[in-house]
Amino acid sequence: MTQPSRPQDGRAALASFVTNRLGRANARPSPAPAETRAPVANESAQDFEKLTGYRELRLQRSAADLIGLGNPFFRVHETRAGAQTRIEGQAYSNYSSYDYLGLNGHPAVSGAARKAIEAFGTSASASRIVAGERPSHLKLERALAAHYGTDACVIMVSGHATNVTAIGAMLEAPDVIFHDALIHNSVVTGAQLSGAQRRSFAHNDPAALEKLLEATRHEHRRALIVIEGLYSMDGDAPDLAAFVELKRRYECWLMVDDAHGLGVLGRTGAGLHEHCGVDAADVDIWMGTLSKTLSSCGGYICGPSALIEYLKCTAGGFVYSVGMSPPLAAAAEAALSVMQAEPERVERLRRNGHQFLALAKKHGLNTGSSLGLAVIPIIIGDSLKAVTLSDRLFKRGINVQPIIHPAVPERSSRLRFFMTSEHTPEQIAQTVATVAEELSALETGATLIEQLMARRGA
Q: Which pLDDT score, from 0 to 100, does residue 55 have? A: 73
| Residue pLDDT, tens place only, 226-260 | 999 999 999 999 999 999 999 999 999 999 999 99
Q: Is the pLDDT of residue 306 over 90?
A: yes
Based on its alpha-carbon atoms, the radius of gyration of the chain, rounded to whole angstroms, reads 24
Q: Is the pLDDT of residue 36 over 70?
A: no
Query: Residue 47's pLDDT band (boundaries 50, 70, 90)?
Result: confident
| Residue pLDDT, tens place only, 321-338 | 999 999 999 999 999 999
Identify whether the C-beta of residue 293 lies closer than 8 Å to the C-beta of residue 343: no
* Cα gap 1→23, rounded to integer Å: 28
Q: Is the pLDDT of residue 387 over 80?
A: yes
CA nearest to 241, candidates 288, 279, 284: 279
In Å, how far are 78, 81, 379, 431 from 95, measured between CA atoms?
A: 16, 9, 15, 10
Mean pLDDT of 369-395: 93
| Residue type (1 letter), 260 | H
Query: Residue 15's pLDDT band (boundaries 50, 70, 90)?
Result: very low
**DSSP SS3 for 91:** strand
What stretches of 233-321 adopt beta strand conformation (E)?
253-257, 285-289, 299-303
223-228 and 253-257 strand pairing: parallel
More confident residue, 131 or 178: 178
CA nearest to 163, candidates 318, 323, 375: 318
Q: Is 258 exposed, middle or buried (0-12, 13-18, 19+ CB in 10 A)?
A: buried
Q: Which pLDDT score, from 0 to 100, does residue 32 have? A: 47
Q: Which pLDDT score, from 0 to 100, does residue 382 have? A: 84
Q: Which pLDDT score, from 0 to 100, does residue 60 have? A: 65
Q: Which pLDDT score, from 0 to 100, does residue 75 have? A: 85
> Going by C-beta distance under 8 Å and a sequence separation of 6 or more, which residues neighbour residue 82?
94, 97, 99, 102, 104, 105, 420, 422
* Cα gap 94→247, rounded to integer Å: 40
DSSP string across 323-372: PPPHHHHHHHHHHHHHHHH-THHHHHHHHHHHHHHHHHHHTT---TT--S
H or E segment at 373? none
Q: Is the pLDDT of residue 91 over 80?
A: yes
Q: Is the pLDDT of residue 149 over 80?
A: yes
Average pLDDT over the chain, rounded to an integer: 88
Q: Is the pLDDT of residue 262 over 80?
A: yes
Mean pLDDT of 71-94: 90
Domains in the chain, CATH or no CATH each? 84-97+343-454 (3.90.1150.10), 108-341 (3.40.640.10)
Q: Which pLDDT score, from 0 to 100, does residue 452 have? A: 58
Query: Residue 131's pLDDT band (boundaries 50, 70, 90)?
Result: confident
Q: Which pLDDT score, from 0 to 100, does residue 358 have? A: 98
Mean pLDDT of 1-16: 45
Identify whether the C-beta of residue 84 lies closer than 8 Å to the C-beta of residue 91: yes
DSSP string across 5-62: PPHHHHHHHHHHHHTT-S--SSSSPPPPPGGGPPPGGGS-TT-GGGSTTHHHHHHHHH
176-180 and 398-399 strand pairing: unpaired
**DSSP SS3 for 253:** strand
Q: Which pLDDT score, from 0 to 100, does residue 12 have? A: 45
* Cα gap 204→377, rounded to integer Å: 17
Determine the length of the chain. 458
Mean pLDDT of 118-140: 94
| Span of 41-55, 102-116, 204-218 with lowest mean pLDDT | 41-55
| Residue type (1 letter), 132 | G
In Å, how far are 29, 77, 84, 86, 221 from 89, measured between CA atoms?
A: 41, 9, 13, 6, 58
Q: Is the pLDDT of residue 222 over 80?
A: yes
Query: Residue 11's pLDDT band (boundaries 50, 70, 90)?
Result: very low
* First vs last C-alpha separation in the chain: 37
Query: Residue 57's pLDDT band (boundaries 50, 70, 90)?
Result: confident
CA nearest to 163, candidates 137, 194, 134, 126: 194
Mean pLDDT of 366-386: 94
CA nearest to 295, candidates 332, 262, 258, 326: 332
Q: Which pLDDT score, from 0 to 100, does residue 384 have? A: 84
Q: Which pLDDT score, from 0 to 100, does residue 52 have? A: 77
In Å, how far are 119, 124, 168, 169, 340 from 418, measured between CA atoms?
A: 35, 32, 30, 32, 21
Q: Is the pLDDT of residue 317 over 50?
A: yes
| Residue pLDDT, tens place only, 187-212 | 999 999 999 999 999 999 999 999 99
Q: Is the pLDDT of residue 436 over 90?
A: yes
Mean pLDDT of 213-231: 97
Q: Which pLDDT score, from 0 to 100, does residue 58 have? A: 72
Query: Residue 74's pLDDT band (boundaries 50, 70, 90)?
Result: confident
* Cα gap 392→75, rounded to integer Å: 15
